[in-house]
Amino acid sequence: MAAMENGLSWSSWWDTIPVFAVLLVALFGPGWLVVRALGTRGLEAVAVSPAVSVAVIAAWATVTQRLGIGWSWLVLAAVTAVTAAGGWLVVRGLRAHDPVLTPKRRLLGRPDPHAALAIGIGVVIALATILPAIGRPDELVDSPDAVYHLNRIRLFLETGNFSIVHPTFYPNGFHAWIATGLQSGVAPALVGTNVATVVLAAVVWPLGVVTLVRHALGASHIVTYAAGLASAAFVSFPTILLGWGVLWPNLMGTALTPAALAIMLQAARTVTEGRWTRRRLGQWLGFAAALVGLALIQPNSLVALVLFALVWFVTARVRAGILGHAAWTAVGRDLGIVAAVGVAGLLTAPLVSQRLASTQSYEWKGHVSVWTALVEVVGGRLQIPVVLWGVLALLVLGVGWIVLRARAALPVVAMWGACIVLYVMAASSTASWTALVTGYWYNDKVRLASLAAVPGVVLVAAAAPALRDVLLKVPALRVQGPAVSLVALAALPFATVVAHGPTRTAMLEQFFRPADPTHVILSRQAQTDLAALAEEIPAGEGVIGRPENGTPLMFALFGTNTFYRSIPIPDTGDENLLGTGFDEMATRPDICAALQRHDIRWAIDSPHVYWLDRPERSSGLFDLAAVDGLEQVRTVGDYTLFRVTGCGLSSR
């Protein structure tokens, strides 16, 4: 199919197959070798491999940088071998390995064809719904955080420094993984990042969902296939995080959470059921390694697992009291301890961590009533105009079936309930104390809606056996067991993907191709115009311009040394100084000193302004044609390039 200016181009996606391959190798390969060396088994070993790979890449990239070693595929191979060997020695030292397993079985495991097919179904549905909405692999998502993330990936590639503190402290898991893959030269930063987000949404997420659902509801065929179908049920995840924000590290962390939760539930079950052996240690070690990766991607993913663990513990203790397995006095004591420790932790954490305190200070406008919040998170009416009745019906069926037929999964229902409570707090409450709980997610209801999809997929998958049981009550259908199961499974995609397909597509399209010009950071024409201006600028020389006109993306797209690399302008440091005082360079020595510090010799002006505008921070960058110390060089489209002639910067 011929490429379309603003539509789907299958041919361009086919061209990215090498990009998919390289990113998948980087995401699964190192982690797989490490978790198998640790003795992690089953589908869980595959599912947690991405989180462990990120742990290897992000942690070792920081360490090697401190040692003066640039990051590369060769370095990755070396540190993966060291990490896997270290894990193997630990397991051997603890005698936690299984001496019966052959080396081939220990490395490759025993694949389940039904699980593999269910994952494949989830992958196909995700690709079929995501790729047409994005359109082309080089399509820019018009969300402000994309500027920062793309520029950081380009910076990693330019410098070979993938450290967590480069250029400033920020979790480096997402960026380091993509930049590692792109070191092979298969794609530029924009294309590689788009492909990476598709990998997360269409491969990692279905894999984790199938793993989690099988742990929560059992490994029957109907549950396994329902899990693959359920992975595409929600619009709140992964769809919304492919474009909103754009919260790519959150997308990655949430996509990896089901696998980590699954292995946590499995490891915990071996203890509570009295089946602990040293050979089960591999699951715990794999879980611990995955936690490191999640922390280096987005710390709130780690907090989410802590939340789920607490909910699991509370639910398990209450259930033990109800069933008479434990005295209520003991249950009350345990719950009291958990409550006391939890409250103390919530109060102490922001006092210890200034970064957390800053995160908890985020304020969002547009609080809604409790009822509206419930409709948004349970009914799916978040940033879309309609209630997702099909998803809602499946959730109700799933909860009912778990309560009546699969009570071992009640902790997952409680986890979903906890996410709902957090969402309602963030969406409707203006009380300051709620930030102590929801602040780990920036008090952002979108992030919490996405988190609710993690336990939510279990409830949707449970709707398939629930429907089958209802249909089998009809006498004429009792002899048609397999056919009834197929009908029950078919209800999942019809109630979700088919029923709400246009809504899902419209949401993604508005992120990648917004109708409002003020919501476009850089159109295709603007990218072409800036590319022409970039050719005029010698390599390494600095460029300044209002971030809201899209010029910060010149670094990510063309390698131009832009002074600003995020939207909006920071309100401190030289960024703020130049943003407010650039037009006074002829009379202010401090402005000249800042320009010289950053070797800024060029400026770009444009009438285009992105919606996330902070004019008070860029008042000195308006109307550059009237600024003393600038010489107009060239105009292409809406962009005009100026040479800085003041402050002694006209020549080197």
Q: State pLDDT tens for residues 72-90.
A: 999 999 999 999 999 989 8
Residue 427 has pLDDT above 70, yes or no: yes
Residue 5 has pLDDT above 80, yes or no: no
- At residue 358, the pLDDT reads 87
- Encode burial over 507-538: b for 16+ CB neighbours within 10 A, e otherwise: bbbbbbbbeeeeebbbbeebbebbeebbeebe
SS3 477: helix
Q: Determine which of 5-9, 136-140, 537-541 has the lowest per-residue pLDDT on average.
A: 5-9
- At residue 114, the pLDDT reads 94
| Whether 465 contacts 225, CB under 8 Å | no
SS3 92: helix
| Whether 182 contacts 78, CB under 8 Å | no
Q: Can you name the residues that pair with 544 across neighbouring β-strands? A: 603
| Distance (Å, whole) CA 135 – CA 129 | 11
- The single-letter code of the amino acid at 163 is S
- At residue 461, the pLDDT reads 98
- At residue 649, the pLDDT reads 83
Question: Residues with Cβ < 8 Å from 352, sequence gap 6 or more?
Answer: none
HEC profile of 214-283: HHHHCCCHHHHHHHHHHCCCCHHHHHHHHCCCCCHHHHHHHHHHHHHHHHHHHHHHHHHCCCCCHHHHHH
What average pLDDT score do residues 591-596 get? Answer: 96
Higher per-residue pLDDT: 285 or 271: 285
- At residue 90, the pLDDT reads 87
Please tell me whether the peptide bond between 568 and the residue prior to it is cis, using omega within 30 degrees of 0.
yes
Band of residue 107 on the pLDDT scale cut at 50, 70, 90:
low
Of 40, 76, 38, the closest CA to residue 57 belongs to 76
Parallel, antiparallel, or unpaired: how do β-strands 630-636 and 639-644 relate? antiparallel
What average pLDDT score do residues 494-500 get? Answer: 95
Please tell me whether the peptide bond between 246 and the residue prior to it is cis, using omega within 30 degrees of 0.
yes
Q: What are the structural domains, with CATH classification, of the chain? A: 10-510 (no CATH), 519-644 (3.40.50)
Q: What mean pLDDT is reported for the chain? A: 92
Q: Determine which of 108-112, 181-185, 416-420 has the lowest per-residue pLDDT on average.
A: 108-112
Quick one: which H or E segment has residue 602?
Answer: strand 600-605
Q: Can you name the residues that pair with 641 across neighbouring β-strands? A: 604, 634
Quick one: which H or E segment has residue 133?
Answer: helix 113-134
Residue 280 has pLDDT above 90, yes or no: no
| Whether 511 contacts 244, CB under 8 Å | yes
Q: Determine which of 63-67, 121-125, 173-177, 568-572 has the lowest per-residue pLDDT on average.
A: 568-572
- At residue 514, the pLDDT reads 94
- At residue 648, the pLDDT reads 87
Does the predicted model carry a pTM greater than 0.85? yes
Band of residue 3 on the pLDDT scale cut at 50, 70, 90:
very low
- The single-letter code of the amino acid at 86 is G
| Distance (Å, whole) CA 367 – CA 489 | 38
pLDDT in tens, 215-260: 999 999 999 999 999 999 999 999 999 999 899 999 999 999 999 9
- At residue 101, the pLDDT reads 55
| Distance (Å, whole) CA 411 – CA 174 | 30
Residue 29: Cβ within 10 Å count: 16
- At residue 482, the pLDDT reads 86
Parallel, antiparallel, or unpaired: how do β-strands 600-605 and 542-545 relate? parallel
- Encode burial over 132-167: b for 16+ CB neighbours within 10 A, e otherwise: bbbbbbbbbbbbbbbbbbbbbbbbbbeebbbbbebe
- At residue 2, the pLDDT reads 33
Higher per-residue pLDDT: 265 or 305: 305
Q: How much of the chain, in percent, has pLDDT values that exceed 90? A: 81
pLDDT in tens, 480-495: 778 899 999 999 999 9
Number of H helices, E strands in the chain: 27, 4
SS3 634: strand
What average pLDDT score do residues 187-198 get? Answer: 97
SS3 604: strand
